[in-house]
Chains A and B, each alone.
Chain A
Amino acid sequence: MALIDTINPLLTTGWTKGDAGWSLKDYEARGGYKQWRRVLESKMSQDDLIAEVKKSVLRGRGGAGFPTGLKWSFMPKAAPVKYVVCNTDEGEPGTFKDRDLMRFDPHSVIEGMIIAGYAVGAKAGYNYIHGEIFEAYQRFEEALDQARAAGYLGDNILGSGFSFDLFAHHGWGAYICGEETGLLESIEGKKGQPRFKPPFPANFGLYGKPTTINNTETFAAIPFILGMGGEAYLNLGKPNNGGTKLFSVSGHVNRPGNFEVPMGTPFSKLLEMAGGMRGGRKLKAVIPGGSSAPVLPGEVIMDCTMDYDSIAKAGSMLGSGAVIVMDETVCMVKALERLSYFYYEESCGQCTPCREGSGWLYRVVHRIEHGEGRPEDLDLLNRVTDNMMGKTICALADAAAFPVRSFIKHFKSEFEYHIENKKCLVDPEIQRMGSGFFKAGAA
């Protein structure tokens, strides 16, 4: 679906025509590639460009929130071969913003990547696109052909002497490739198992060369930052939380979808934009930043604003901006079971604490959900997470542990009820009705 509602749109200005507004001429008509032309024509220095991005306090939109300008400045200047890589391996449950960027405005990502290539001195880039959105991959390839034909990409771009080319690479079903070094391994044609860090990709990245990896939305913001200036972009949001952000709202709302709002927008406003709670039911819990972020009870999130600092203060993470909304028809044990199964299924198997731990988490949550829980199981779950967190090469183990710990912390009585009574606290009929799959009264 195209965009429904927004405040101060930047990234989504091109989305209003949905599938009909993505091509090069549409993008140019709304000012597209103007910033890239300006960078080349004014022979802007790499340092000035990076300084402008730093000023914007654009923080990585993929989940970690690392300052983009700072990341670019880590790239060694002298290295002869460098790469820029875009992470569109959007598989974090609840996140679906990059898919819409690919579908409705692929050229904004291309322009952002070319400018990044210029800033860090790379000659080539790759956009790694989630395998499940193959239609978006095909569209991105078409957009690349258009950009190449128009002379924005390739050798000696617009007569400037600068050369840069960009290619699309698709995944084929592995969540772990969203981890940046797993993604690099995958582009190299291997299993997507993350690498030990350091060295970080800025020193040892794709094919062992210095590499800058950013999220799709991060790249898409670059032309807008250059257009309005870093400071104006920062001022759209909050101090230390620059600009606007795409939020993917899913679950029990009337109008699930992507919403672009300034950083610091109250959660209650975002919920209202998403049409409010489905059926007017009561908000029970929200996962504010993709399934790996700790869950927050409804009354806690209602007091939060949507930015990195406010959500962190409440005990969770803004992550990728995937807001999973749950109402009172949800059994929290069953919800956690779904998530724990996901991490168990997607653990790459490289590190023992994650490979074994994610399986134990799933099996124990599964037995609680299915009436076979034991009184000591909640302690056991917490102990297993202690043995996983911070003990592996990448953050998947932590991502598997956060939901378990936060669900138990905030909804302990529901877990205890399950263990004692061998059934859900929330009536199964009510749960069944909550999904909206069955029409009222139908079998």
Chain B
Amino acid sequence: MNTPNTMLSPELSPESLKKIDREVAKYPADQKQSAVMAALVIAQDEKGWLPKETIAAVATYLGMAPMAAYEVASFYNMYDLHPVGKYKITVCTNLPCALSGGVHAADYIKQKLGIDFNETTPDGMVTLKEGECMGACGDAPVMLVNNKRMCSFMLPEQIDKLLAECK
């Protein structure tokens, strides 16, 4: 999804706004800002990543300063402030995963894709990220696909299978 920024409208779709409304309803009426984390995820799901204009649109919708929303977007690791591939694969290399091959899994997938961490394949399909503990160390090595899908026991065969899916 390397679409230039200018191609995207910062405005969110009615479907996304409906989802955000559902989040806002969880909090006291005067605490709409509490929904910003979920709202930014909803926006990221719709746009593929979070251009500044989209962050500002989320902030306006929630009645908060754009900078306050940007602070949140830049503080938490899983918000993408730059375009990423259609598939973002995050590999855990923390110690419990590393003991069961997390670093080797990262080396393997880098070699298969011909890219390093924080790079995207030339066809724009896969972005590779290094991640910290995902809280699934019993399933090591662990990878996360597009932030929401956890893949367990990622030995070479499973990695090959995952990459074959990333079309």
* Interfacial residues, chain A to chain B (CB-CB below 8 A): 1, 90-96, 98-99, 126, 130-135, 167-175, 186-192, 207, 248-252, 256-258, 291, 322, 324-326, 330, 335, 338-339, 342, 345-346, 348, 432, 434-439, 442
User: Contacts A93-B137, A186-B37 given; 13 further ones with Cβ under 8 A?
Assistant: A133-B135, A167-B27, A173-B77, A173-B79, A189-B35, A248-B137, A249-B138, A256-B140, A291-B96, A435-B101, A436-B100, A437-B101, A438-B104
Establish whether residues A190 and B136, one from each chain, have CB atoms under 8 Å apart when the complex forms. no
Establish whether residues B99 and A437, one from each chain, have CB atoms under 8 Å apart when the complex forms. no
Q: Which of A1, A188, A324 contacts B95 (CB 8 A)?
A: A324
Closest to B37 in A: A172
Closest to A187 in B: B34
A98→B102 CA distance, assembly (Å)? 22
B108 within 8 A of A: yes
Contacts of B94 in A (CB 8 A): 93, 291, 338-339, 342
Establish whether residues A91 and B99, one from each chain, have CB atoms under 8 Å apart when the complex forms. no
Which of A92, A186, A249: most chain B Cβ within 10 A? A186
Closest to B78 in A: A173
Of residues 124 to 166 in B, which have CB atoms within 8 Å of A's CB atoms?
A: 131-141, 144, 147-150, 155-156
Say yes or no: A339-B95 contact (C-beta < 8 A), given A436-B101, A437-B141, A438-B104. Answer: yes
A346→B94 CA distance, assembly (Å)? 12
Establish whether residues A174 and B100, one from each chain, have CB atoms under 8 Å apart when the complex forms. no
Establish whether residues B135 and A90, one from each chain, have CB atoms under 8 Å apart when the complex forms. yes
Q: How far is the CB of B41 from chain A (nearest CB, A)?
A: 6
Contact with A along B12-47 (1 / 0, CB 8 A): 000000000000001110010111111011000000
Say yes or no: A131-B76 contact (C-beta < 8 A), given A187-B34, A256-B140, A437-B155. Answer: yes
A291→B97 CA distance, assembly (Å)? 12
Contacts of A348 in B (CB 8 A): 75
Contacts of A169 in B (CB 8 A): 26, 34, 37-38
11 pairs, CB–CB < 8 Å, chain A vs chain B? A92-B133, A94-B137, A132-B131, A167-B26, A167-B27, A172-B40, A172-B147, A189-B35, A322-B96, A339-B94, A435-B103
* Interfacial residues, chain B to chain A (CB-CB below 8 A): 26-28, 31, 33-38, 40-41, 62, 64, 68, 71-72, 75-79, 93-96, 98-105, 108, 131-141, 144, 147-150, 155-156
Which of A92, A168, A189: most chain B Cβ within 10 A? A189
Establish whether residues B133 and A342, one from each chain, have CB atoms under 8 Å apart when the complex forms. yes
A173→B122 CA distance, assembly (Å)? 27
Establish whether residues A190 and B95, one from each chain, have CB atoms under 8 Å apart when the complex forms. no
A31→B72 CA distance, assembly (Å)? 42
Which of B31, B33, B94, B156: most chain A Cβ within 10 A? B94
Q: How far is the CB of A101 from chain B (nearest CB, A)?
A: 11
Contacts of B131 in A (CB 8 A): 132, 173
Establish whether residues A432 and B104, one from each chain, have CB atoms under 8 Å apart when the complex forms. yes
Contacts of A326 in B (CB 8 A): 99
Q: Which of A126, A132, A338 contacts B135 (CB 8 A)?
A: A132
Establish whether residues B132 and A342, one from each chain, have CB atoms under 8 Å apart when the complex forms. yes
Q: Which of B72, B102, B147 contacts A131 (CB 8 A)?
A: B147
Q: Which of B41, B75, B95 contacts A93 (CB 8 A)?
A: B95
Establish whether residues B96 and A250, one from each chain, have CB atoms under 8 Å apart when the complex forms. yes
Contacts of B26 in A (CB 8 A): 126, 167-169
Establish whether residues A189 and B132, one from each chain, have CB atoms under 8 Å apart when the complex forms. no
Contacts of A134 in B (CB 8 A): 147-148
Say yes or no: A133-B95 contact (C-beta < 8 A), given A190-B72, A207-B31. Answer: no
Say yes or no: A435-B36 contact (C-beta < 8 A), given A93-B94, A95-B135. Answer: no
A418→B65 CA distance, assembly (Å)? 51
Q: Which of B27, B34, B95 contacts A338 (CB 8 A)?
A: B95
Contacts of A171 in B (CB 8 A): 37, 76
A436→B26 CA distance, assembly (Å)? 45
Q: Which of A99, A189, A256 contacts B37 (CB 8 A)?
A: A189
A251→B95 CA distance, assembly (Å)? 8
The 7 closest A-B pairs by CB, nearest first: A437-B101, A173-B77, A189-B33, A173-B78, A437-B104, A435-B101, A132-B134
Establish whether residues A170 and B38, one from each chain, have CB atoms under 8 Å apart when the complex forms. yes
Closest to B104 in A: A437
Contacts of A346 in B (CB 8 A): 132
Closest to A134 in B: B148
A21→B86 CA distance, assembly (Å)? 34
Contacts of B132 in A (CB 8 A): 91, 93, 173, 175, 342, 345-346
Contacts of B148 in A (CB 8 A): 134-135
